[in-house]
Amino acid sequence: MSGDNGFTNKRGLPEWYHDLYWAFNYDATSGGKRRSDFSATGLIKPTQITVLGERYGDLVTEDIADCTWKLLGSAAHSAMYSMQKRSMARMVEEGVAPRVRPVLERRMYTSILIPGTDEGMVTISGAPDRICIDGVTRDFKFTSAWTHVFRSRDREWKRQLAIYNWLGFMYGMDVANQGEICAIFRDWDEKKMMSNDKYPRINVGFYEFDLPSPAATARWIQGKVEEIFACRKLPDDEQPECIVGGEEDDVWASEEKWAYYKSDKLVKATKLFTSEEEAQKRLDVEGKGHIVHRPGERKRCAGYCGVAPWCAQYGKWRQEQGLPPLDVPTAKEA
Ligand code: SF4
């Protein structure tokens, strides 16, 4: 099975470990009890990623050494599921919880009409970690502590919870249009917490969201699916661009900076500036030190988007930055 499990093993990790990844290739749209056209996690992605993924997904490979965090997230989800089940059973047994239990990781399916298409109808699915007896939709995330600092996933999390809330409503649940994310910070570091006020105080965080009504979410889903259908007819270089910067940022952009170092011995910059002129002014005032240019980044494109080699938007940005074009795979790596 090694080499045939959808993952590469470029760092030569033991073969039995590589083989394990065969079981890791779960696709929510084809797994579960029945097939669906779009999963909640798929719908919240930018349309450009979805359409290019449909076109080139077969050529995208991931290396097992880059999947360790995903593996740990998946393992932690399984542990949470078992823990929740046991805790529910105990509470019911001891009479501290009603017999109506939260819905745990149940995959739900709802079909919507897409007029003017050959398909006519598509099925949306989603499996929230928990829809509680108080009607709040809850999900666990195993993520970087920097997600808390930059609040970079809020929009995505809120949308995902809203889709689950809508699915719960369609299944007749008494949903509260409220969501909560329990984020467990896999890389939390006490030293960073001591030196940065914005860093999370502890290694777990809870984020509450007011969710749109099921009717409003249904309209959003309808619009999103219609956009995907329309974009399937467009060439790669006419796909709607991912949003860069601001609250809606899709590409996890960071601005270019000029770092001023007061002394050549310093590892950490004395101050960061958003323009070269400002940095130069500081250098002139201090009369010593040096400036280092830090180019802007698009972290998602650079490391977390499998379709980056086919993306015209990212290709253009790389060209503007003087970076070489990415290699475009023509066959799946073994
Ligand atoms: S490479 Fe970047 S811009 Fe292109 S689809 Fe991926 S995230 Fe969007």
Mutate to test the pocket of ligand 1, among 45, 156, 297, 300 (most ligand atoms within 8 A of CB): 300
pLDDT at 286 over 50: yes
Ordered by where they begin, the domains of the chain are 35-44+68-236 (3.90.320)
- The number of the ligand 1 atom at minimal distance from the alpha carbon of 46 is 8
- The number of the ligand 1 atom at minimal distance from the alpha carbon of 305 is 6
Task: Give the tens place of pLDDT for each residue, 241-285.
Answer: 999 988 889 999 988 899 999 988 888 899 999 999 999 999 999
- Supply the angle between the helices 154-170 and 214-231 in degrees, to the nearest 10: 110
Residue 209, strand partner residues: 179
Q: How confident is the model at residue 104 (pLDDT cuts 50, 70, 90)?
A: confident
pLDDT at 32 over 80: no
Beta-strand (E) ranges in the chain?
A: 7-8, 38-39, 62-63, 108-113, 121-126, 130-131, 137-143, 178-185, 204-210, 253-254, 257-261, 271-273, 290-294, 297-298
The alpha carbon of 191 and the centre of ligand 1 are apart by a number of angstroms equal to 33
- Supply 67's token pair: 């999947």
Q: For the CA atoms of 298, 300, 304, 308, what is the dihedral angle to 10 degrees? A: -70
Return the pLDDT at 6.
74
- The number of the ligand 1 atom at minimal distance from the alpha carbon of 300 is 7
The alpha carbon of 37 and the centre of ligand 1 are apart by a number of angstroms equal to 22
Ligand 1 binding site (Cβ under 6 Å of any ligand atom): 46, 48-49, 242, 250-251, 298, 300-301, 305, 307-308, 311, 313-314
pLDDT at 217 over 80: yes
pLDDT at 30 over 60: no
Task: Give the tens place of pLDDT for each residue, 137-177.
Answer: 999 999 999 999 988 889 999 999 999 999 999 999 999 99
Task: Give the tens place of pLDDT for each residue, 191-208.
Answer: 999 999 999 999 999 999
The alpha carbon of 333 and the centre of ligand 1 are apart by a number of angstroms equal to 21
- The number of the ligand 1 atom at minimal distance from the alpha carbon of 312 is 4
CA separation, residue 137 to residues 40, 105, 204, 286, 318 (Å): 13, 11, 18, 54, 40
Q: How confident is the model at residue 1 (pLDDT cuts 50, 70, 90)?
A: very low
CB 313 within 8 A of CB 321: no
Return the pLDDT at 246.
85
- The number of the ligand 1 atom at minimal distance from the alpha carbon of 298 is 2
The alpha carbon of 251 and the centre of ligand 1 are apart by a number of angstroms equal to 6
The alpha carbon of 5 and the centre of ligand 1 are apart by a number of angstroms equal to 25
Residues 74-95 have a mean pLDDT of 86
Which region among 83-87, 182-186, 199-203 has the lowest average model confidence (pLDDT)?
83-87
pLDDT at 90 over 90: no
- Name the residue among 269, 268, 254 with its Cα closest to residue 303: 254
The alpha carbon of 263 and the centre of ligand 1 are apart by a number of angstroms equal to 38
